[in-house]
Amino acid sequence: MGQSAIASAFAGLVPMEARLVAQLPGEAGWQFEPKWDGFRALILRDGDRVAIKSKSGKGLDRYFPELVSLVSGLPGPPRFILDGEIILPLGGVLSFDALQQRLHPAASRIARLARETPAELMLFDCLWMGDATLSAAPLTERRGRLARWHARIMRPALNLSPASHAYDEAATWLAQAGGALDGVVAKELDQPYSPGERAMLKIKQRRTADCVVGGFRQSDEGAIASLLLGLYNEEGALDHVGFTSAIPSSERGTLPQRLAALVAPPGFTGKAPGGPSRWTRGRSNKWVPLRPALVVEVLYDQVTADRFRHGTRFLRWRPDKAPGQCTQDQLQHELKPSQIAALLSH
């Protein structure tokens, strides 16, 4: 037997994406939603079959068996395709780090984590419901169908993302971004679902931190490839928190000599940069320690487990700042439990 129509549609489906813009649109005709800090996922139910796949098309079913069970056990309709985010509440906040730990090859570990730290779904779009394909319908219709269905289901761990047409409410969400929220998404109310296209807008909060340069890495040619960044923890030890490789060209000529004068172990007295890993494919990941004397201001987006999740952007040197003033309390982590509860009960 061949695939059903809904399974065939799901097989080739990729999510609609967003392009980064500097500010929220202020005119009418837009719906705003929090941009959740989780794993983007498309969810299929086709009778007894449930499939969950990532934005890249990889299957997520085996990593989140509790979500497969959740979707399998829902009352009708027996067929739907939903768009949403996998989130993981942990200790009153949402933890991206705990989500990453679920991507593990050992089935026994996945089963244990599914019991101990179950994930949830945060839904925000509906592409198919029952016998109706909705991709060509405007957002207002898709969101209405999703909201009415969700109101009938009302299951724990099955959340409907807040949505608002109010600019002021979206601005409040944007101010909270950086932990559980990754920013705000803006969608046109009369817009169809456009798979693979950057047809939505996303707005992120700019955040900066003053960091100690605790070391550096060199390229194969001997140039400065990246500066290793540190912040002092509560015990007074310098923890490695990330890196910046976007060094201005005006700095590249004089930087090697400047850093050479500061080379001295240990560099980091708390958490230190790691060595070769599966991510470096066996390449050398050696680094050179520096005396903690240089302070640099960087632009960052997200913090996970007391580290910048992505590379940062070099902004400027801070000769006016003492290294000891560069502490971890600068960083904005997850939303407070009360803020999470307010959003989830929206």
DSSP string over 105-134: S-HHHHHHHHHHS--EEEEEEEEEETTEE-
Q: What are the tokens at 224?
A: 């400065």
Element (H, E) at 340: helix 337-344
Specify the CATH architecture of the domain 207-330: Beta Barrel (2.40)
Q: Is 286:313 a contact under the CB 8 Å cutoff?
A: no
Residue 280 is predicted with a pLDDT of 39
Distance CA(129)–CA(142), nearest Å, equals 9
Share of the chain above pLDDT 90, in %: 64
Q: What are the tokens at 339?
A: 């803020």
Residue 44 is predicted with a pLDDT of 97
Q: What are the tokens at 50?
A: 């449930």
- pLDDT per residue over 190-231, tens digit each? 999 999 999 999 998 778 899 999 999 988 888 899 999 999
Residue 278 is predicted with a pLDDT of 35
| CATH code of the domain made up of 5-205 | 3.30.470.30
Distance CA(245)–CA(312), nearest Å, equals 8
Cα 172 off chain centre by = 19
Mean pLDDT, range 256-279, rounded to an integer: 82
Element (H, E) at 87: strand 79-87
Number of Cα atoms under 13 Å in the Cβ half of residue 81: 22
The catalytic residues are 35
Crossing angle of the two packed helices 65-72 and 107-116, in degrees rounded to 10: 60
CA angle 151-160-52, nearest 5°? 110
Q: What are the residue ranges of CATH 2.40.50.140 in the chain?
A: 207-330
Distance CA(51)–CA(68), nearest Å, equals 7
Q: How far is CA 315 from CA 126, 152, 248, 328, in A?
A: 41, 50, 9, 18
Distance CA(104)–CA(64), nearest Å, equals 11
Res. 20: pLDDT tops 60: yes
Q: What are the tokens at 155?
A: 């299951």
Q: Is 166:32 a contact under the CB 8 Å cutoff?
A: yes
The top-scoring range by mean pLDDT among 114-118, 153-157, 300-304 is 114-118
Distance CA(286)–CA(265), nearest Å, equals 13
Q: What are the residue ranges of CATH 3.30.470.30 in the chain?
A: 5-205
Q: Which amino acid is at 35?
A: K
Residues near 300 by Cβ (< 8 Å), separated by ≥ 6? 207, 208, 209, 242, 308, 310, 312, 313
pLDDT band at 306 (very low <50, low <70, confident <90, very high): confident
Please, what is the average pLDDT of the chain? 88
Mean pLDDT, range 84-91, rounded to an integer: 90
pLDDT band at 91 (very low <50, low <70, confident <90, very high): confident
